[in-house]
Amino acid sequence: MAGILTLQYKQIPGNKKANILKVTEMLAANSDKELDLVVLPEFFSTGICDEMYTDTEPADGGETVKAISLLAKKYKTNIISGTVVEKDGDKLYNTMYVLDREGKTVGKYRKIHLFAYMGGTEDKALTPGSEEVILDLDFARVGLSICFDIRYPLHHRKLAQGGAEIIVSPSAFSYPASLSDEDKASFINTWRAMNITRATENLVYFVTSNLFGKSYPYLYSIGNSMISDPWGRVLGDAKDEETAVYADISLLAGKDIRKVYPACHIS
């Protein structure tokens, strides 16, 4: 068994200190659990704000990732450190850093599919990544995805074909506040359906960590962070609350499922 913890919280836009403190407090409150992997949201330290494109991090993740590395070492857990805006030369990337139990950066992934719809401007400020990433952590083979990547099935199929047993997706999945209640409900249902679908079509555990609450004046991050298993069962569900969700998962069970349905995994 492996213990997975995913965090969902209301960000304070542009306030790195307060947002990192929130992560610290939530992790401390769940430190009695068996933690093999902790997943933080996209833009976990800044939220969605104009400052995230100016108050950037260097190519090693800077002080923001260093703070999370100390938590990984303290609690002896692997951490998917959400994402930060990383400056490398004259280019900016939406980058996820992965830390092992010693707090060392063991890999990073630059978001490939940037959000450029419904007022989104990621593609104007950021450079897309170009490579899918799968990492061998000490307990599982983990594939990396970020937010809008969830709408690209082939991205996740490549991760599954590469042997990923778990796919993680830090997210800031949001809708315009101007949507009708009916459209908002449909938007959330689509997000939840994609979580389950990415798990079942690839026969992996799929873990999302989403921001929650109002960000930009016209954007609302929907929460609904989930831990879904290869059968499509939702093992953990944050819904519309500021909360941490925990689940024990069986990697052996996942391997057994892939033996029963190998075609689903490789085709």
Active site residues: 42, 111, 147
Q: Are 3 and 34 in contact (CB under 8 A)?
A: yes
- The 3-class secondary structure across 157-223, one letter per residue, is HHHHHCCCCEEEEEECCEEECCCCHHHHHHHHHHHHHHHHHHHHHHCCEEEEEECEEECCCCEEEEC
Tokens describing residue 59? 């190519």
Q: Residue 84's beta-bridge partner residues?
A: 95
Tokens describing residue 110? 């630059």
As a whole number of angstroms, the distance between CA 99 and CA 184 comes to 35
